[in-house]
Chains A and B, each alone.
Chain A
Amino acid sequence: MGERVFAVLGVFAGPDALLDAASKLEGRGVGKLEAYTPYPVHGLGEALALRRSPLAGMVMVMGTLGTAAAFLFQWWMNAYDYPIVVGGKPLASWQAFVPIMFEVTVLFSAFTAWLGAVFLLCRLPGLWHPMLSSSSMPKLTRDRFALSIESQGRDFDAEATREALRDAGALETEVVRFPPAPKPASLTLLLGLAGAGALACVVAGLATYWTIKVFPTLPPMSRMLQQPRLGAQRSSSVFAGSAGFAPVAEGTVARGRLPYPFKTPEEAAVLGNPLPRTKAVLAEGKRRFDTVCRVCHGPLADGKGTLTKAYGASPADLRTRRYQAFPDGSVYHAIMSGKNAMPSFAKALTEDERWSIIHYLRALQRAADAKDSDLP
Chain B
Amino acid sequence: MTLRVLAIVGALGCADSLIIDPARFWANWLVWTLMLVSAGLGSLFLVSLEHLTGARWSIPLRRTAERVASLLIPGSLAMLAALIGIPVLFPWAQPGWPEDPLQAGKTAWLNVPFFTARAAACAALWIGSWKVLAGGSLELDRTRDPRLHLRLQRFSPFFIAVFALTVTVTAFDWVSSLSPEWYSDVLGVYLFAGVFLSGLSAVSLAAVSLKKEGRLQGVRFDHLYNLGGFLFAFVVFWSYIAFAQYMLMWYAHMPEEIFWYKDRVEGAWGAATLGLALVHFVIPFFALVTRGSKGDPRRLAWVSGLVLVSHYADLCWLVFPSLGLAPRFSWPEAAAGLLFVSVGLLWVRRATAQGDDLPVGDPALEEGLAFRL
Partner-B contacts on A (CB < 8 A): 42-43, 52, 56, 60, 87-89, 95-96, 98-99
Contact = CB atoms under 8 A, between A and B. Distances in A.
Contacts of B233: none
B247 A56 contact: no
B246 A56 contact: no
Contacts of B289: 60
A56 B290 contact: yes
B251 A42 contact: no
B250 interface: yes
B372 interface: yes
Contact of B246 (A42, A87, A89, A95): A95
B243 interface: yes
Contacts of B291: 52, 56
Nearest to A99: B247
19 contacts: A42-B372, A43-B372, A52-B291, A56-B290, A56-B291, A60-B289, A87-B251, A87-B253, A88-B253, A89-B251, A95-B246, A95-B247, A95-B250, A95-B251, A96-B247, A96-B251, A98-B243, A98-B247, A99-B247
B62 to A, nearest CB: 22
A68 to B, nearest CB: 16
A85 to B, nearest CB: 14
Interface in B277-292: 289-291
Contacts of B250: 95
A86 B289 CA distance: 36
B146 to A, nearest CB: 28
A60 B285 CA distance: 12
Nearest to B251: A87
Nearest to B250: A95
Contacts of A98: 243, 247
Interface string B271-314: 00000000000000000011100000000000000000000000
Interface residues of B, number: 10
A60 B291 CA distance: 12
A375 B243 CA distance: 46
B97 to A, nearest CB: 32
Nearest to B252: A87
A264 B119 CA distance: 77
Interface in B231-283: 243, 246-247, 250-251, 253
Nearest to B243: A98
A87 B372 CA distance: 52
Contacts of A56: 290-291
A279 B247 CA distance: 36
Nearest to A53: B291
B66 to A, nearest CB: 28
A42 B220 CA distance: 15
Interface in B340-371: none
Nearest to A57: B290
A20 to B, nearest CB: 17
A34 B243 CA distance: 47
A60 B286 CA distance: 11
Contacts of A87: 251, 253
A8 to B, nearest CB: 30
Given A95-B250, A96-B247, A98-B247, 14 more contacts: A43-B372, A52-B291, A56-B290, A56-B291, A60-B289, A87-B251, A88-B253, A89-B251, A95-B246, A95-B247, A95-B251, A96-B251, A98-B243, A99-B247
A98 B253 CA distance: 18
A84 B289 CA distance: 38
A88 B254 CA distance: 13
B250 to A, nearest CB: 5
A78 to B, nearest CB: 14
A96 B247 CA distance: 7
A331 B253 CA distance: 37
A171 to B, nearest CB: 26
Contacts of A95: 246-247, 250-251
B254 to A, nearest CB: 12
Nearest to A52: B291
Nearest to B244: A99
8 A-B pairs with least C-beta separation = A42-B372, A95-B250, A95-B247, A98-B243, A87-B251, A56-B291, A98-B247, A56-B290
Contacts of A99: 247
A89 B249 CA distance: 13
Contacts of B246: 95
Question: Could you say which of B246, B251, B253 has the most chain A C-beta atoms within 10 Å of its C-beta?
Answer: B251
Nearest to B247: A95
Contacts of B253: 87-88
A253 B41 CA distance: 74
A43 B253 CA distance: 55
B265 to A, nearest CB: 11
A56 B253 CA distance: 40
B270 to A, nearest CB: 14
A74 to B, nearest CB: 14
Interface string B82-109: 0000000000000000000000000000
A89 B247 CA distance: 12
Contacts of B247: 95-96, 98-99
Contacts of A42: 372
A152 B251 CA distance: 63
A97 to B, nearest CB: 10
A56 B251 CA distance: 35
B287 to A, nearest CB: 14
A60 B290 CA distance: 10
Contacts of A89: 251
Interface string B61-83: 00000000000000000000000
A95 B244 CA distance: 10
A56 B291 CA distance: 9
A95 B273 CA distance: 14
A96 B250 CA distance: 9
A99 B246 CA distance: 12
Contacts of A43: 372
A121 to B, nearest CB: 16
A99 B250 CA distance: 14
Contacts of B243: 98
A87 B247 CA distance: 13
A52 B291 CA distance: 10
Nearest to B291: A56
B182 to A, nearest CB: 19
